[in-house]
Amino acid sequence: MALSSEKKAVLKDLALSLSIANLCFLFIWLEVLNLAGDDTFRYYEAQPPGFDLVGALILDISAVGVVLFASFRARRAQRAPLKWTAAGVIAFFSMFALYQLQRSITDYMMDRVIFTTLFICKLIIAAVAGILLLWSLAQHFRRSPKRFLRELPNRLARVGSAVFVVLFPLFPLLMANAVIRYESIGAPLFRDHSPAPMLTAKADTPRVIWIIFDEMDMRMAFEAPPQRINLREFNRLKNQAIFGARVITPNRNTTPSMNSLLLGVQITEFNQQTRELLFKTAACSHWQRFSSHANVFSRAREAGFNTGLSGWHHPYCRLIAQDLNDCAWVENPWYTWKRYLQPISFWQKAESLIDRQARHVPGARNIFGIDAESDALQEYCSHDISALRTVLANGYRMLRDPHLNLVLIHLPIPHPPGIWDARRGVFVTTGNSNYIDNLQLSDMVLGQIRRVLEQSGEWDRSAILVSSDHPYRVAAWQFAGPDVDLRSEEVAYFSQMRQQPYVPFLLKLPNQKSPVSYDREFNSVITADLLLALLKKELTTTTEVIQWVNAHATDSLTFASSCR
């Protein structure tokens, strides 16, 4: 039986309402789907997202859809105020839906399709369609300008309605996709391995403490430090350590660099899975499993040593906890959507999603005082401060455990954005801090680590290696957004650092009291072998270390590794 015209109008209004409401949340849809379905994101998460997140999103879309449906029905009212109010509501949500569609395509998908044939074809099609549309409008305008202007709002409304009706199937498709993705994941995928049992300690076993300050750069820390900071602890360590002045890292990003350091091989490509990392090397063009290779900790345990690790960003305990006697890690909030994983109620999640979308309304900053980018930065800084405290708390516990022979502490500083106010000596989340402040915080943390070891009588007898996973990435942070743009005091330094890819490398041997400089360039990919040689007491003097590095420096720069 054919539907009446009134029922058809109701169904059309319903489809339009849900389509527009769905597009208003399109960017969040993409984040929520990738949170559950993309290994690149799941790799960095410590816990699976709950399906209630999808339910909260559908509830929000339905709520906006109800408002729009009521507006579409009210648009047919006889009273002008109600009619124009309804039209205004529809126009607002329609424009925001188109904005979200554009934002999703450009901001989210651009890095995946830019410069590809598919993207170029889309541009050509869009350009041709735009030209044809403009030509058609010009023809109508030339024939009857007054009539054209009078009918233009209705023409635009019909075109918009057609677009939104065509895009309506996105709503059920996204819901079905979400159900499939969220049903396929569970807690076991994200579960960390159990730590290894403690080995019986040998008499007079050495200790090696490996400290990584994320994104610490040589120039800012040692060569030309800003006058307003005083890196007293780093310079104090430098005065009793072997100081490598020209040390490059395996990669400019944390994941490939840290895994290269752990394996002692140069990773050239990598691919994340939830519970595995695949990689290639210069010598091996096929994909290899990280879990099938010995790492510095498994090799240390084979030699009879106990190991511990406290870190961030990388899911250490999911990948290598079986090679560690003590393991703890926290996520990098820059890579994860902690706001979606908070232990809050269903209704609070629905409210938080609405709030998040409201912050992205164009002009919200000027009209309502809402600043999505500043709020996102503040959220990140808060989680970053929490991550630092957690990594340090776990790290201090491991440093105080005399049974652990090899301990790695991977810290989230001085990695931007700034979370420390060096002038006042307090944590901040307001964006008024920068990389230079984080350097001062790093110095304070190094001093705290030193005091923990001194109080337990472990500082003098331990070998301490302080370095970084990669130098400061000037180009990356220049385009990170207005809230993490380079501050004026940084520009003078960073502009000179483009050809300065070095990181600090300070190695204090047990009972070392005097400084030794090493100016030959080498790649820190040799770190794993160096640490094992120190553990086995194959290297006990600065002369032996220098000779060992000399023997391995050339090989480290060729990025050679065996293909297994």
Calpha distance 434→484 (Å, rounded): 8
For residue 464, what are the β-bridge partners? 209, 508
pLDDT at position 214, please?
A: 97
Sign of CA dihedral 164, 165, 170, 171: positive
pLDDT of residue 523: 95
β partners of residue 486: none
List, run by run, the mean pLDDT of 10-residue segments along the chain (564 residues). Answer: 74 90 90 77 79 90 93 77 83 87 68 45 56 59 57 59 83 89 74 86 86 94 89 98 96 94 94 87 88 95 96 93 96 66 76 76 58 69 93 98 97 93 92 88 98 96 97 72 53 60 96 96 96 97 97 67 58
Paired tokens of 523 = 């790649």
281 DSSP β-pair partners:
267
> Pairing relation of β-strands 207-213 and 462-467?
parallel
- Quick one: how far is CA 43 from the chain centroid? 11
List where CATH 3.40.720 sits in the chain. Answer: 216-266+293-511+530-558
Residue 315, both tokens? 């899911």
Residue 465, CA distances (Å) to 61, 145, 232, 302 in order: 53, 77, 17, 22
Residue pair 524/250 in contact (Cβ under 8 Å)? The answer is yes
Residue 440: name the closest of 234, 214, 212 by CA.
Answer: 234
400: Cβ contacts below 8 Å, ≥ 6 apart: 452, 456
pLDDT the model gives residue 369:
52
Contact 534, 296 (CB under 8 A): no
Q: Which helix or strand (DSSP H or E) is residue 157 part of?
A: helix 145-166
> What confidence score (pLDDT) does residue 8 get?
80
Q: Which CATH architecture has domain 216-266+293-511+530-558?
A: 3-Layer(aba) Sandwich (3.40)
CA-based torsion, 117, 120, 126, 131: positive or negative = negative
- Give the predicted TM-score (pTM) of the model: 0.83
